[in-house]
Copies of this chain bind each other. A is one copy, B any other.
Amino acid sequence: MKNVIVGQSGGPTAVINSSLLGVFKTAKDRGADIVYGMVHGIKGLLDRNIVDLSTQIKNDLDMDLLKRTPSSFLGSCRYKLPDIEGNEKTYQEIFKILKELDIYAFFYIGGNDSMDTIKKLSDYGEKIKSPIRFMGVPKTIDNDLAITDHTPGYGSAAKYIASTTKEIIRDGLVYDYPVVSIIEVMGRNAGWLTAAAALAKGEDCEGVDLIYLPERVFDLDKFLEKVGELYKQKRSVVIAVSEGVKIADGRYVCELADHVDYVDAFGHKQLAGTARFLAAKVAEKYGVKTRAIELSSLQRCASHITSRIDVTEAFNAGGAAVKAAFEGMSGQVITLKRVSEDPYMCITEPADVHFIANVEKKVPDEWITPDGTYVEDALIHYIRPLIQAEIAPLWVDGLPRHLILKK
């Protein structure tokens, strides 16, 4: 018996289900008996909330739909495993369930926190000399994982951001009076997503005028000065700003507003509103028309516009994890390694999870212009291959069709 189990964790991406398919299909192709899915990640496993994926993915059409389905097919969780020391009970429970299910290999698709789960499980497994293999499959739109050239999920988010930014730029030019549009992009600590707005620029597009990443301190006065110069020169000014930009004293820009929208159930101050705050400041100072546009959760769930490179790499990362596990590896994460710049070529490579979990990769300083208001060409060249080619939705009755979990 070779049963395997797979889960998804953290915030979803538009291609996280391609990785799930990569695990499912490769495991089946390589002789796995049952491929179980944990519903809502490791938390679902602890609740014994699991499904046999063969009852969900029944044919080729289901596979093609799964690749095009946004959000995590199996559901997700934000549950972080406790430290092993002093919490052996949790680990004993997990391994007991895995034994009951006769699990040969365990796959977890996720970001930083999820790789921590793989690290802890494989460490504990080694301690108790368990034969179960634990493999991580990376995903995150934030592109902030260490070692890997980039993360599956980033390319599609970047393509969505660049495409919609192009459309917003055209839209901003429609009237004959000045408009300042501020686009707010996800990324609390790393500016990879916001940087993707730079891709809009080309033969048929003026591009955005300013880009602000969280890697640099945000100076409100300098920002207003810059906008003041720009809107006098051109009809439409478009600015991309990360939701995570902070001023010198460490406060988020969106915290500078006089009001807080609300504090959520977890006590987190609702932080969205960076673009809104800046648009208000610009309108106040210059009396110019402004628009604040939050790209919101569509950045991670707009599966109607994905990058085929990203879809393929996400699938491959899942498949490579299975291959590695079936060949005896454990405690590893599949990374992407760019072996050629031009033409772009990328291969998968397993890496020790201890070097990846809990490390956050930011945009290198030399890829941001000295004044911190745009990105360098090197960064654009890095992103460009990741948004290439498309995978059209399967349209049914006018809308993209998805595959959903049957209970």
- Min CB distance A183 to B, Å, is 9
- Which stretch, A95-103, A352-360, A369-377, A385-393, touches the partner chain B? A385-393
Q: Evaluate contact between A72 and B199: CB separation under 8 angstroms.
A: no
Is A164 among interface residues, defined by CB-CB distance under 8 A? yes
Q: Give the distance in Å from the alpha carbon of A186 to the alpha carbon of B40 in the complex.
A: 34
Enumerate chain B residues within 8 angstroms of A44, measured Cβ to Cβ.
176
Q: Give the distance in Å from the alpha carbon of A207 to the alpha carbon of B163 in the complex.
A: 26
Q: Give the distance in Å from the alpha carbon of A175 to the alpha carbon of B199 in the complex.
A: 32
Q: Evaluate contact between A259 and B262: CB separation under 8 angstroms.
A: no
Q: Evaluate contact between A168 and B265: CB separation under 8 angstroms.
A: no
Q: Give the distance in Å from the alpha carbon of A170 to the alpha carbon of B74 in the complex.
A: 11
Q: Name the residue on B nearest A74 (C-beta).
A: B174
What string of 1s and 0s marks CB contacts (under 8 Å) between A232-259 and chain B?
A: 0000000000000000000000000011
Q: Name the residue on B nearest A177 (C-beta).
A: B265
Q: Evaluate contact between A162 and B399: CB separation under 8 angstroms.
A: yes
For window 42-97 of A, CB contacts with B under 8 Å fall at 43-44, 69-72, 75-78
The listed residue (B11, B69, B176, B272) touching A77 by CB distance below 8 A is B176
Q: How many copies does the complex hold?
A: 2
The listed residue (B170, B264, B298, B392) touching A402 by CB distance below 8 A is B170
Q: Evaluate contact between A297 and B168: CB separation under 8 angstroms.
A: yes
Q: Evaluate contact between B297 and A398: CB separation under 8 angstroms.
A: no
Q: Evaluate contact between A202 and B159: CB separation under 8 angstroms.
A: no
Q: Evaluate contact between A167 and B284: CB separation under 8 angstroms.
A: no
Given contacts A162-B398, A264-B289, A283-B262, contact A70 B296 (CB under 8 A): no
Is A333 among interface residues, defined by CB-CB distance under 8 A? no
Enumerate chain B residues within 8 angstroms of A290, measured Cβ to Cβ.
262, 264
Q: Which residues of A approach B to under 8 Å, CB–CB?
A: 11-12, 40, 43-44, 69-72, 75-78, 159, 162-164, 166-168, 170-171, 173-176, 199-200, 202, 204-205, 258-259, 261-266, 270, 272, 276, 279-280, 283-284, 287-294, 296-298, 300-305, 307, 384, 387-390, 392, 395-404
